Amino acid sequence: MLNWDDPLTPAAARQPASALPTNAADAPTGTPTEPPAAAPTLGARPVRAEDKRIVNGMADINQLAPFKYPWAWKYFLNANKNHWTPLDINMAQDVHDYHHKLTVEERHVYENVLAYLTTADILAMRNVAIAVMEKMSAPELQIYQARQAYEEALHTWTYQHCIETIGLDQGEIYNRYRVVPEINAKIRMTQQRLDAVCSADIDLHDREQLHTFLMSYIFFAAVFEGSWFYNGFSPIFALQRRGLMKGTAEQLQYIMRDEVMHASFGIRVAKQLMQEENIRPDPQALRDMWDQAEACETGYASYILRDPILGYSADLHVEQFRYVANRRAAQLGLEEVPFPGAEAALPWLDEQANLRKEKNFFETRVTEYQTGGALSWD
């Protein structure tokens, strides 16, 4: 245990010279020894940008520049211009709304949206921080993903802040993903689809395993973050449009803007990976992924909106999911969209992410990203 009153001289240095081992062979059995530091490579050339790759790169991962993916560095810089915390937003009116204005059906929607989101963002954080980042072989990619993992933790704090402030039973809300089949189905699909990304021993030099990794990453970027999260906040936004739960909705607007950047970044990584490795996702595997995602989202919407609320229904929710999924497929450059003919059932949803929100500076912060115009899906 660290004691600030201890002298600064290490204990080993206070021993007489005769007590110190002179070489590794003299060290006591079981005493760990530090491996020798790698000797400098004389004449080693600096990293070249062309040596970097999304995965399987040959460049030194410890050399940030020169950039091969300057867009990844811009994502990191842009994200850092838009720092926020849930404490920035006044939740007092939400407490009153929940207990005195929301109907039973609206409280059911509110609680279960938070129950799903808080579990899902922990999954996202662990997926990025523990699994995906260490498989990327360019440091500029890893640095943005480190910021992304932080933002997923921030989002989890935000849901917890809302749950605690409203006065909900935290243990019961956090446990719903285990006991509500419709929420559990989305979590189980996520875990199954992300198995390849999370595997520590996956061989990305093997074409079959690389394809499995690609499909897993496409699910994460285009379905989990790009469709489910993007669409997942809309029931709360529907309440906000009627003047209810505006503090929670503003919290989710901040999160939505982060998630838009996460999905955009992930799609760019997936496209770059396909180009560099000359690999494309199997059409049937894509079809199965989209169909399973739609089935999970339909079941989830039918549960949280088993009784429609004013201005919002399960049918609207699912149709909007299909529309957003088509956009993500097009942004990936895929030959076919999964749900031909799907229309924007919630034309106001994009406003939550893209349009400037003018607000009284002394009441709340403006949620528009300073750099929103720089976002690119290409």
What pLDDT score was predicted for residue 123? Answer: 81
What pLDDT score was predicted for residue 134? Answer: 85
Instruction: Give the pLDDT band of residue 12 (cuts 50, 70, 90).
Output: very low
Can the peptide bond before residue 36 be classed as cis, meaning omega within 30 degrees of 0? no
| Residue 259 annotated as part of some ligand binding site | yes
Least confident of 63-72, 128-137, 311-320, 340-349: 128-137
- The answer to whether 73 and 222 are in contact (CB under 8 A) is no
* Exposure letters 28-57 (e unless 16+ CB within 10 A, then b): eeeeeeeeeeeeeeeeeeebeeebbbbbeb
What pLDDT score was predicted for residue 293? Answer: 98
Largest CA distance in the chain: 83
The mean pLDDT of 176-203, rounded to a whole number, is 91
| Residue 225 annotated as part of some ligand binding site | yes
Residue 191 pLDDT > 80: yes
In angstroms, the Cα distances linking 204 to 58, 142, 275 are 13, 17, 15
Mean pLDDT of the chain, nearest integer: 85
Domain spans of the chain?
70-353
pLDDT digits (tens, 9 = 90+) for 323-333: 999 999 999 99
In angstroms, the Cα distances linking 95 to 57, 84, 98, 101, 246 are 51, 21, 5, 10, 11
**Which residue carries 């750099």 as its tokens?**
371
The mean pLDDT of 175-198, rounded to a whole number, is 92
- Of 224 and 364, which is predicted with more confidence? 224
Does residue 171 sit in helix, strand or coil?
helix
| Residue 368 annotated as part of some ligand binding site | no
What pLDDT score was predicted for residue 17? Answer: 42
pLDDT digits (tens, 9 = 90+) for 62-80: 888 888 999 999 999 999 9
| Residue 99 annotated as part of some ligand binding site | no
Alpha helix stretches (DSSP H) within the chain: 11-14, 70-80, 92-100, 104-126, 139-166, 170-179, 181-193, 195-198, 207-218, 230-232, 234-240, 246-277, 283-304, 314-331, 349-354
Give residue 349's identity as a one-letter amino acid code: L
pLDDT digits (tens, 9 = 90+) for 352-362: 766 444 443 33
The mean pLDDT of 247-255, rounded to a whole number, is 95
List 69, 144, 159, 300, catalytic entry: 159
Residue 376 pLDDT > 60: no
- Which of 5-14, 42-51, 174-183 reaches the highest mean pLDDT? 174-183
pLDDT digits (tens, 9 = 90+) for 206-245: 999 999 999 999 999 999 999 999 999 999 999 999 999 9
Per the document, the length of the chain is: 378
What pLDDT score was predicted for residue 9? Answer: 46
The class of domain 70-353 in CATH terms is: mainly alpha
- Of 156 and 35, which is predicted with more confidence? 156
Query: Is the sign of the CA dihedral 247, 146, 134, 268 positive or negative?
Result: positive
Gap between the Cα atoms of 282 and 138, Å rounded: 26
The tokens describing 161, both together, are: 């802040």
Residue 247 pLDDT > 80: yes
254 catalytic? Reply is no
